Amino acid sequence: MELIQLLLNGLSLGAVYALFALGYTLVFSVLGVINFSHGAVFTLGAYFTYLLIGGQAGANGLLAGLQLPVALPFALALPLAGLASALVALLIERVAFRPLRQRGSDSLLALISSLGAGVILVNLIQLLMGAESYAIPIGTLGSLPAALRFAGAQVRTVQVLLLAISVLLLLLLSVWLEGTRSGKALQAVSEDPVTAQLLGIDSDGMIRLAFGISGFLAGVSGGLVGLSVSIAGPYFGISYGLKALGVLVLGGLGSVPGAMLGGLIIGLAEAFVPAEWSGWKDAVAYGFLFLILVLRPQGLLGRPLGTKV
Amino acid sequence: MTAAPRLRSRAERHANARFRLGRLNRLALGLALLGPALSLGGCGGPDPAQQAVNLSQGVPIGAVLALSGNANVYGQDQNTGLRLALAELNGQGGINGKPLALKIEDSGSDEPGANAAFSLQINRGVLALIGPTLSQQAFSADPIAQRRGVPVVAPSNTATGIPEIGPFISRVSAQSSVIAPLSIARALELHPQIRRAAVFYAQDDAYSTAETTIFQKALTDKGLKPVTVQRTQLNDQDFQTQITAALQQKPDLVVLSLQAVDGGNMIRQLRELGYKGAIVVGNGMNTPNIYPICQKYCEGILIAQAYSPELQSPANATFLRRYRASQGGAIPPQLTAQAWTALQVVAEALQRLDRRQPLQQSSVAQARKALMAEILSGTYQTPLGEIGFTPSGEVIQKDFFVAQVRMAADGKSGRFALLP
């Protein structure tokens, strides 16, 4: 029973990390740069979800007391929040990435500009919604029980939902990448954008698509995590972002299956930390990451790349 | 096709990585060299502490509160208390006719933020500082004030060892060792069948670690050695792993030393995972801002408090009147009362000092030193009741209370109902 409990704990944690890391991966694969504004888009997704289900803005922001005239069911609010987050991600691509890319700037600059975009977004959230915490009301999932039992192990229903939606999105993304023309076009761009463009693939369009999907995934995962553990203020996405960065590196930079595997491994590593060491779970997870990288610097599923001479 | 030459292949990007790392190293080295140079540059000019107290804008007082970040739930309560106290004190004539000029700075919820805000306020020439919000921040920022000779009155630091940082550090928030055991005793009176206690605390937070030690000792003194002690980290929100491990020990009392947002999530998840026993929480959850987080699951949690809205005293009546008028009749939380008290203490000490030795005739450094002595020597009639200080700056308070959270039927609002 204890093993099943630990597996459930680890999988539900890991699925969120994987979903988050996938957003990083998609952008990294096409631009070779980590989009540091991803955590802010994740946070935004949680706030969008909160407002769309009828949540009211607190007392400390410019939008104090704001409540949308409609209160959507969570099942509708979540994808809509994902779409709104995708639009924000596209805006970030337009403002923080494209101008630098068009000037042929070093990708390190794009990394810094993405960090700047993230900081601006987080501060904007704080300005508009205040620094207070928000929680999606208990009972949002209707008549579903608060927790479920599997073979003597117990897990919160929201965690099961989170795991199921994460796995579904991961599978859809994999199928799209491997089984569709546009998915393969994205892979081609990630492999070599110049050649892809010569072959008639719209590299810029593919980059925008990667940002859009990445923003959607961030928004949906933000909404799901907000449902599970409340929205602890505008900085809510930062710790998840850091963890997902570890996941990204562990799985192999730019590898979609690697992001999934890395997420699950980090989640399981945290869950399997003994109770008396529970406060050290981050140290254990990152220690594990360090060990893997020493043994396999390109990450678990990353490809070793030759050095140019 | 215009974009093609500007996009680079994965191999090229990889090849550039070493070059970029090299540049990063040079950037880091540059910053490392620039830092001391900027510090040295900052050493020029007259020392603001040696100049005369500048009363042109009023009597300068600073506050450093966590208005953003995870601890903002406390900072917002404190901000309300300081602003109400400022209006009341200035309405009564301020410091012998001179208005109090209170500047509030946001420390975020971490130590670097508190350090920066303390330094900023001290450089402005404030005569005293109120804050920071968290004990963890105080251990980092208070030594700055101590070195610069600036009186600090902490409105909410409860960890052991705060006044011991130095003679310029005091607090109006009673330390955990005084308050925390009261709620354990009360829980055992209400639920005499309790036999198995589970303890949770954030191991990387000074307040949590100090308070859990006191909770665990109080439990052991009552013959209830904790059956499990689960550690979390500050800002953790998902506690499935710790809770399921603790529930396997079948506890009938859970004791939490966590900050408000973390603790609110912990309570919600405990109840969702089927825990039905009593819950005692520490001072970190002493704010109505937990209600929106644990919602209906907040019902029944026990907490010891250093403030009661029901305390009958003129000072509390004034505070209640001001608070209710500004907050639509709501009941004030402890943190707001303590923040009001901190400013009241500073103001009354300044009034006595100014009568004896007018502030404008002193340098900032002299006024700060004399103010600290004045703060410690006084007795104050505050919303918390009568308080004074030990020579080391520890608060001496008479009245403490145990409350139980009662949530409204909609699960959105609640109150700390005092237990008789």
pLDDT grade, residue B340 (50/70/90)? Answer: very high
> Which residues of A, range 106-125, sit inside 8 Å of B by Cβ?
106-108
Amino acid sitting at position B231: R
B318 and B223 in a common domain? no
Own/partner pairs, B143-151, CB within 8 angstroms, 24+ separation: B144/B115, B144/B118, B144/B119, B145/B118, B145/B169, B148/B49, B148/B122, B149/B49, B149/B365, B149/B368, B149/B369, B150/B122, B150/B126, B150/B368, B151/B127, B151/B346, B151/B368, B151/B371, B151/B372, B151/B375
Predicted pLDDT at B398: 86
Interface size between A and B, measured as CB pairs under 8 A = 169
**A268 inside domain:** no
- Position A38 scores a pLDDT of 93
Sheet strands (E) in B31-109: 59-65, 100-106
Look up tokens 């928004």; give the residue: A219
The residue that leads in pLDDT, B256 or B292, is B256
A130 and A58 Cβ atoms separated by less than 8 Å: yes
- Is residue B13 a part of any domain in this protein? no
- Closest CB to A135 among B8, B202, B295: B295
Q: Which of A132-136, B304-308, B333-337 has the lowest mean pLDDT?
A: A132-136
- The confidence score (pLDDT) of residue A162 equals 86
* A272: closest chain B residue by CA: B241
- Considering the domain boundaries, does residue B131 fall inside one? yes
Please give the pLDDT value at position A304. Answer: 66
CB B151 within 8 A of CB B170: yes
Give the contacts of B61 (CB within 8 A, at least 6 positions apart): B100, B101, B102, B103, B126, B127, B128, B129, B130, B343, B346
Query: Does some domain include residue B52?
Result: no
Q: Within a domain: residue B31?
A: no
Domain match, B235 and B342 both: no
How much is the average pLDDT of B204-210? 88
Q: Is the pLDDT of residue B248 over 50?
A: yes
Q: Clarify whether residues B289 and B408 are in a common domain.
A: yes
Check B295 against A137: CB less than 8 A apart. Answer: yes
Are the C-beta atoms of A228 and A160 separated by less than 8 Å?
no
The pLDDT tens digits of the residues spanning A112-170 come to: 999 999 999 999 998 899 888 888 888 888 888 989 988 888 888 988 888 888 888 88
Clarify whether residues B230 and B290 are in a common domain: yes
- For chain B positions 214-243, those within 8 Å of chain A (CB to CB) are 228-233, 235, 237-238, 240-242
Give the structural domain span for B105: 59-174+312-389
Q: What is the per-residue pLDDT across B360-375, written as a single tens digit (0 to 9) for each?
A: 999 999 999 999 999 9
pLDDT for residue B249 is more than 90: yes
Specify the number of domains making up chain B.
Answer: 2
Q: Which position has the higher pLDDT, A218 or A305? A: A218
Q: What is the pLDDT of residues B72-92, one digit of tens each?
A: 888 989 999 999 999 999 999
User: What is the pLDDT confidence band of residue B352, given thresholds at 50, 70 and 90?
Assistant: very high
Span A230-257, average pLDDT: 84
The reply to whether B72 and B101 lie within a common domain is yes
User: Is residue A91 scored above 80 in pLDDT?
Assistant: yes
Report which of residues B11 and B270 the model is more confident about.
B270
Q: Are residues B122 and B149 in the same domain?
A: yes
Q: Pick the closest to residue B371 from B62, B139, B47 (CA basis).
A: B62
pLDDT value for B139: 96
* Residue B284 in domain: yes
3-state SS, residue B98? strand
CA atoms lying within 13 Å on the CB side of residue B120: 14
Residues B201 and B282 in one domain: yes
Instruction: State ipTM.
Output: 0.84
Confidence band (pLDDT; 50, 70, 90) for A309?
Answer: very low
CATH number at residue B288: 3.40.50.2300
In a domain, B6, yes or no: no
- B 251-290 near A (Cβ less than 8 A): 261, 264-265, 268-269, 271-274, 289
Residue B105 lies in a domain: yes
Q: What is the DSSP letter of B50?
A: G
Residue B9 tokens, joined? 């292949």
pLDDT of residue A1: 54
- For A197, the closest chain B residue by CA position comes to B4
**Please, what is the average pLDDT of chain A?**
87
What would the two tokens of residue B224 be?
């209830």
User: Both B214 and B319 in a single domain?
Assistant: no
Residues B291 and B352 in one domain: no
Q: How far is B57 from chain A (nearest CA, A)?
A: 27
Please report which confidence band the pLDDT of residue B154 belongs to, taking 50, 70 and 90 as the band edges: very high
Q: Which of A3-7, A24-28, A95-99, B60-64 has the highest mean pLDDT?
A: B60-64
Q: For residue A41, give its domain range.
A: 12-235
Residue B175 and residue B161: Cα distance in Å, rounded?
9
Q: Which of B55-59, B91-95, B238-242 has the lowest mean pLDDT?
A: B238-242
Question: What DSSP element (H or E) covers A162?
Answer: helix A157-179
Identify which of B260, B69, B235, B110 has the alpha carbon closest to the alpha carbon of residue A234. Answer: B69
CA distances from B149 to B167, B350, B365, B371 (A): 9, 16, 7, 11
Average pLDDT over residues B264-285: 94
**pLDDT score of A108:** 82
Strands (E), chain A: 147-150, 153-156
The shortest CB-CB distance from A133 to any of B75, B293, B296 is to B293
User: Could you tell me if B149 and B186 lie in one domain?
Assistant: no
Residues in A closer than 8 angstroms to B113, CB to CB, are none
In a domain, A139, yes or no: yes
Q: Do A234 and B23 touch (CB under 8 A)?
A: no
Looking at residue B292, its pLDDT comes to: 87
Output the DSSP codes for B241-295: HHHHHHHTT--SEEEEE--HHHHHHHHHHHHHTT--SEEEE-GGG-SGGGHHHHG
H-type alpha helices, B42-134: 72-91, 111-124
| CA A259 and chain centroid, separation | 10
The minimal CB distance from A13 to the residues B20, B238, B272 is found for B238
- What mean pLDDT value characterizes chain B? 88
The reply to whether B79 and B198 lie within a common domain is no
Residues B114 and B145 in one domain: yes
Q: Do B230 and A108 touch (CB under 8 A)?
A: no
Q: Tell me whether residue A267 is in a domain.
A: no
Number of domains within chain A? 1
Residue A305 pLDDT level (bands cut at 50, 70, 90): low
Q: Is residue B368 part of a domain?
A: yes
Q: What is the mean pLDDT of residues B123-145?
A: 96
